[in-house]
């Protein structure tokens, strides 16, 4: 089968490798769709993410949709949960499998991801999709799951107002999921015009560039104030603006991944407003089922997020396209 491996920064190579064999407790999936995530771009451009570095050639990709290849469910479209927690550590026992220190995560250094034609994966983490959802939709369920987990961390209440700073795919999905969860007002902040336009289409009441928001906040003249701010931009300016627009006593949820693995903000700003900060680490168990219900109900559109599709042999082009941020979600199709 064909496989794409990342050997070093911007060094993707296609090769032919033996097909995997499904062992007891695993399912063989023919991979049809793999979305490129912001964290994948860190691996591609930097050869690592945070304090994790590339130690061997790895198959990237953790936003995975496909079709069961063999067995009783052969032909069934599925979404693949990329995280395999140990299940026995204190974090797992407390229900925080996303915080498991021994988690194995597809495409992130220790275990191969989705850029291969076939992959064997734990059956419990392979989610059959209902009629009406395609494997492409299944791939986008992973970033939707991150958005849902961020909403959980934000303690969103009915009739809340929110701000979303950084309207890439997760931010755009978060806007719709928040509205479906009872939010009544959404401020979107995003430097790219086409993503601001998409934020409005997905329900944002106001969409501003960071510079426009900065002008409104200058001198404390702005009347903007939200209950919860969600930061998915990955830079200190966005973190500070999130803290500036949230009300005193409000919550700020940080989901962006900074290039230098550091986040800073004015301590006095957070202290005087008595803000609560929460950081997003992937998602918890049960989120895929919630995401499927949101998509099936029509409250969240995942299909419209995919703007670019590439075959496996053009994986490098797909990553460069994602780096350019000209579109929204870029998908590679190993077995289209």
Q: Are strands 246-254 and 276-279 parallel, antiparallel or unpaired?
A: parallel
DSSP letter for 239, please. Answer: H
Average pLDDT over the chain reads: 94
Domains of the chain, start order: 2-128+302-333 (3.90.180.10), 146-279 (3.40.50.720)
In three-state form (DSSP H/G/I as H, E/B as E, the rest C), the secondary structure along 165-227 is: ECCCHHHHHHHHHHHHCCCCEEEEECCCHHHHHHHHHCCCCEEECHHHHHHHHHHHCCCCCEE
Residues with Cβ within 8 Å of residue 199, at least 6 apart in sequence:
164, 167, 171, 172, 175, 186, 188, 190, 207
pTM of the predicted structure, to 2 decimals: 0.94
Tens digits of residue pLDDT in 243-297 = 999 999 999 999 998 888 899 999 999 999 999 999 999 998 889 999 999 999 9
Q: What is the pLDDT of residue 219?
A: 66
Residue 22, Cβ neighbours under 10 Å: how many?
Answer: 18
pLDDT of 220 strictly over 80: no
Residues for the chain: how many in total? 336
Q: At what angle do helices 135-153 and 287-297 cross, to 10 degrees?
A: 110
CA angle 87-93-96, nearest 5°?
85
Tens digits of residue pLDDT in 42-84 = 889 988 888 788 889 999 999 999 999 998 899 999 999 999 9
First-last CA distance in the chain: 14
């Amino acid at each position: 089968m064909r496989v794409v491996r990342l050997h070093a920064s911007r060094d993707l190579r296609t090769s032919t490798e033996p097909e995997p064999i499904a062992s007891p407790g695993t399912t063989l999936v023919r991979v049809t769709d793999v979305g490129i995530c912001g964290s994948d771009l860190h691996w591609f451009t930097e050869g690592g993410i945070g304090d994790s570095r590339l130690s061997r050639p790895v198959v990237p990709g953790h936003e995975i949709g496909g079709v069961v290849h063999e067995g009783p469910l052969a032909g069934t479209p599925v979404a693949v949960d990329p995280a395999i927690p140990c299940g026995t550590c204190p974090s797992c026992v407390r229900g925080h499998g996303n915080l498991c220190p021994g988690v194995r995560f597809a495409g992130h250094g220790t275990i191969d991801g989705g850029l291969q034609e076939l992959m064997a994966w734990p059956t419990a983490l392979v989610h059959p999709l209902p009629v009406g959802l395609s494997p492409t939709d299944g791939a986008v369920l992973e970033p939707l799951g991150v958005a849902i987990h961020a909403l959980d961390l934000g303690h969103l209440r009915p009739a809340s107002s929110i701000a979303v700073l950084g309207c890439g795919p997760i931010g755009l999905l978060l806007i719709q999921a928040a509205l479906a969860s009872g939010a009544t007002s959404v401020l979107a902040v995003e430097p790219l015009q086409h993503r601001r336009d998409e934020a409005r289409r997905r329900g944002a009441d106001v969409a501003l560039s960071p510079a426009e928001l900065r002008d409104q906040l200058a001198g404390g003249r702005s009347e903007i104030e939200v209950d919860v701010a969600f930061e998915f931009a990955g830079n200190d300016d966005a973190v500070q603006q999130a803290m500036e627009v949230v009300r005193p006593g409000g919550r700020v949820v940080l989901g962006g991944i900074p290039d230098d693995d550091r986040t800073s903000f004015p301590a006095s700003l957070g202290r005087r407003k008595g803000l609560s900060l929460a950081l997003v680490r992937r998602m918890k168990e049960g989120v895929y089922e919630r995401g499927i219900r949101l998509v099936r109900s029509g409250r969240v559109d995942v299909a419209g997020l995919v703007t670019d599709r590439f075959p496996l042999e053009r994986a490098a082009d797909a990553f460069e396209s994602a780096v350019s941020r000209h579109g929204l979600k870029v998908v590679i199709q190993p077995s289209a």
